[in-house]
């Protein structure tokens, strides 16, 4: 532990109140970061962005090589000391901005004001950045818990223009980052696919990214021309993939309806068995994996396999039994999204095969999801809740009535009602129709009032109690529900009216 580190940690813990002697120490340690003679002037000092970024980078490198826990904590304190400074960002180079993002990504925290300034400047310089630098920006942005959607939209606009001139390695790197960011730009994804798929070798990570992005699109037909090439690429790079990537490929091929009953049934079963075998020989799997963290991701891999099997019309009993045995052993290790996928598999089996032996395991997975939700600060994402609702629509009332705490998960969605899409909103209300206790009646009314707003003029009802489905503005015309949705709306309106009576 160096004297400089100790001194900086001491100065940081002093809360900014530094004596003349302490300011002299800092000036000796960091001559480029001169503190003012008057401590009260410290609030108005702007420090050099290049120098702060350089200091952070040095701290980051030392922290990566550090094995002593105490010294690692002191290095984190030193990073915090620099990250809280007021920084002069004018005319800063893109390399410096990327260095800031890298430090933020590594340590996981940054001054909110400085981060806002960094993202603002990136937005102004992104059109002039090279694709390599844009790739780095996307890579580090993907590590943030909250994304600046406006910034991402501008980056996607720039990529749609520049991607045509990208080298394959740059394009595939950008593609992996787009996957991590859940990019919803079909035009951009199709542009990359049409330029590079079928015109050379594709690395395994890019194959996984392509399929993940295609599977998230609403129009799966966009991926149809590319699937044969991606299937070949997946089989040729199969030795490069981790168990998690194997499982994602399997799930995505099934989601995209490429593997169907009959011709491809054996391929699906063989691929699923390959992934499940990793659970029987974890040591061997670890030695053959290209990702040292893959073994820790086995629960997620299992959930993707089960999601794929749930979407098939038929699955060999031996494969189902093997998957259930593994799930019984590791369900407590599942995160929220993985638990939701596994629950959907169990619910599908129960509804299709009436396998009553699955009831204890279904109860265990539901209880595990409640335990995760009960943790402080945990709120499930909309995708997780969507998968959970699919399971609730399949499971009988007598099972779910034992888990009434599930309504806490759905209640989180009511708080975000203004951003809920019509299709998703109808699914929540269908769940309430089957399981009336899923949400309190007042929250059901909040959801239905928003449904009325999306589908009617001024949210008014007609004299016969049925809600009008006319639209007056262009925006509302775009939200006009489809015919099969209108039937759901009328039925759900009657359900709520009967409950209020």
Q: What is the pLDDT of residues 278-301, one digit of tens each?
A: 666 544 444 344 444 444 577 888
Instruction: Give the CA count within 13 Å in the CB-facing half-sphere of 6.
Output: 3
Select from 218, 240, 262 the last residue of a domain.
240
Residue range 250-262: average pLDDT? 64
In whole angstroms, give the CA distance from residue 478 to residue 69.
57
**Phi, psi for 384 (deg, rounded to 5):** -65, -45
Residue 458: both structure tokens together: 């001024």
Residue range 172-198: average pLDDT? 83
Q: What is the pLDDT of residues 409-451, one digit of tens each?
A: 877 777 676 667 777 888 888 888 888 888 888 887 787 787 7
Question: Do 55 and 163 share a domain, yes or no?
Answer: no
In whole angstroms, give the CA distance from residue 224 to residue 232.
14
Instruction: Quickly count: other Cβ atoms within 10 Å of residue 124's Cβ.
Output: 9
In whole angstroms, give the CA distance from residue 60 to residue 106.
8
Domain residues for 46?
Answer: 1-128
Do 112 and 96 contact (CB within 8 A), yes or no?
A: no
Give the percent of the chain with pLDDT over 90. Answer: 1
Tell me how far CA of residue 310 lies from CA of 80, 184, 269, 402, in angstroms.
Answer: 47, 25, 12, 24
Tell me how far CA of residue 190 lies from CA of 25, 214, 220, 265, in angstroms.
Answer: 57, 9, 12, 28
Q: What is the pLDDT of residues 110-144, one digit of tens each?
A: 778 888 888 888 888 888 888 888 888 888 888 77
Question: Do 119 and 167 share a domain, yes or no?
Answer: no
Q: What is the pLDDT of residues 448-501, one digit of tens each?
A: 787 777 766 444 333 333 333 333 233 333 344 455 555 566 566 665 555 554
More confident residue, 90 or 338: 338
**Residue 65 CB-density burial (10 A; 0-12 exposed, 13-18 middle, 19+ buried):** exposed
pLDDT for residue 147 is more than 50: yes
pLDDT for residue 368 is more than 80: yes
Do 177 and 105 contact (CB within 8 A), yes or no?
A: no
In whole angstroms, give the CA distance from residue 22 to residue 14.
10
Select from 240, 271, 288 the last residue of a domain.
240
Do 214 and 252 contact (CB within 8 A), yes or no?
A: yes
Is 122 inside a domain boundary? yes
SS3 label, residue 87: strand
Domain count, the chain: 2
Is 183 inside a domain boundary? yes
Tell me what the pLDDT averaged over the chain comes to.
73
Which pTM was predicted? 0.61
Question: Do 124 and 3 share a domain, yes or no?
Answer: yes
Question: Do 72 and 190 share a domain, yes or no?
Answer: no
Is 25 inside a domain boundary? yes
Region at 30 (left for phi over 0; alpha for psi -120 to 50; beta for the rest): beta
CA quadruple 96, 101, 104, 107: dihedral positive or negative? negative
Is 11 inside a domain boundary? yes
Per-residue confidence (pLDDT) for residue 135, from 0 to 100: 86
Do 326 and 345 contact (CB within 8 A), yes or no?
A: no
Question: Do 12 and 86 share a domain, yes or no?
Answer: yes
Is 10 inside a domain boundary? yes
Most confident of 27-31, 50-54, 180-184, 248-252: 50-54
Question: Do 184 and 88 share a domain, yes or no?
Answer: no
The closest of 308, 360, 373 to 334, measured between CA atoms, is: 373
Is 404 inside a domain boundary? no
**For 251-260, 285-294, 313-322, 404-413, which range has the lowest pLDDT when averaged over its residues?**
285-294
Q: How many residues does the chain have?
A: 501
Is 395 inside a domain boundary? no
More confident residue, 17 or 428: 428
CA quadruple 290, 293, 299, 303: dihedral positive or negative? negative
Question: Do 158 and 210 share a domain, yes or no?
Answer: yes
Residue 108: both structure tokens together: 């996981």
CA quadruple 272, 274, 275, 278: dihedral positive or negative? positive
Question: Do 65 and 183 share a domain, yes or no?
Answer: no
Residue 457: both structure tokens together: 């003029």
Question: Do 117 and 209 share a domain, yes or no?
Answer: no
Question: Do 1 and 124 share a domain, yes or no?
Answer: yes
Question: Do 87 and 10 share a domain, yes or no?
Answer: yes
> Which residues are 461's β-sheet partners?
467
Question: Do 64 and 177 share a domain, yes or no?
Answer: no
* Residue 372's pLDDT band (cuts 50, 70, 90): confident
Select from 93, 110, 128 the last residue of a domain.
128
Tell me how far CA of residue 464 lies from CA of 457, 467, 472, 484, in angstroms.
Answer: 16, 9, 21, 21
Is 490 inside a domain boundary? no
């Amino acid at each position: 532990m160096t004297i400089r580190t100790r001194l900086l940690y001491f100065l940081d813990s002093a809360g900014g109140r530094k004596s003349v002697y302490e300011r002299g120490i800092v000036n000796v340690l960091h001559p480029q970061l001169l503190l003012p003679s008057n401590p009260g002037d410290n609030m108005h000092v702007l420090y050099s962005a290049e120098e702060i970024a350089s200091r952070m980078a040095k701290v980051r490198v030392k922290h990566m090589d550090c094995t002593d826990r105490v010294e690692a904590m002191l290095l984190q304190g030193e990073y915090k000391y620099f990250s809280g400074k007021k920084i002069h960002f004018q005319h800063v180079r893109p390399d410096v901005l990327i260095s800031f993002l890298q430090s933020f990504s590594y340590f996981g925290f940054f001054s909110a004001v400085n981060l806002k300034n960094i993202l603002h400047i990136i937005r102004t310089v992104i059109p002039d950045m090279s694709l390599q630098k844009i790739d780095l920006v996307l890579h580090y942005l993907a590590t943030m818990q909250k994304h600046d959607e406006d910034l991402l939209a501008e980056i996607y606009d720039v990529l749609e223009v520049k991607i045509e001139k990208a080298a394959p390695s740059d394009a595939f790197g950008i593609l992996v980052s787009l996957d991590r960011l859940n990019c919803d730009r079909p035009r951009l994804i199709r542009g990359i696919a049409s330029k590079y798929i079928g015109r050379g070798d594709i690395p395994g990570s890019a194959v996984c990214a392509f399929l993940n992005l295609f599977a998230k699109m609403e129009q799966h037909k966009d991926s149809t021309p590319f699937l044969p090439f991606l299937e070949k690429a997946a089989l040729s790079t199969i030795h490069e993939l981790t168990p998690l990537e194997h499982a994602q490929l399997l799930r995505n091929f099934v989601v995209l309806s490429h593997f169907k009953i009959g011709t491809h049934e054996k391929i699906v079963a063989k691929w699923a068995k390959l992934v499940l075998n990793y659970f029987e020989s974890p040591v061997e799997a670890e030695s053959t994996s290209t990702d040292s963290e893959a073994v820790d991701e086995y629960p997620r891999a299992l959930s993707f396999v089960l999601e794929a099997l749930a979407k098939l019309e038929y699955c060999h009993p031996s494969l189902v039994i093997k998957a259930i045995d593994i799930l019984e052993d590791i369900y407590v290790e599942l995160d929220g999204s993985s638990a939701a996928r596994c629950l959907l598999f169990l619910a599908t089996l129960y509804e299709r095969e009436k396998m009553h032996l699955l009831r204890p395991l279904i109860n265990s997975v539901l209880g595990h999801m409640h335990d995760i939700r009960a943790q402080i600060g945990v709120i499930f994402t909309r995708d997780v809740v969507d998968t959970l609702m699919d399971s609730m629509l399949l499971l009988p009332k007598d099972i779910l009535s034992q888990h009434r705490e599930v309504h806490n998960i759905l209640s989180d969605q009511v708080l975000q009602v203004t951003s809920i899409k019509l299709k998703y909103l109808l699914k929540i209300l269908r769940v309430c129709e089957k399981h009336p206790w899923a949400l309190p009646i007042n929250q059901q009314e909040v959801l239905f009032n928003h449904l009325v707003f999306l589908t009617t003029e001024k949210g008014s009802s007609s004299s016969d109690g049925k809600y009008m489905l006319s639209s007056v503005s262009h925006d509302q015309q775009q939200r006009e529900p489809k015919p099969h949705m209108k039937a759901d709306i009328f039925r759900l309106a009657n359900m709520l009216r009967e409950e209020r009576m």
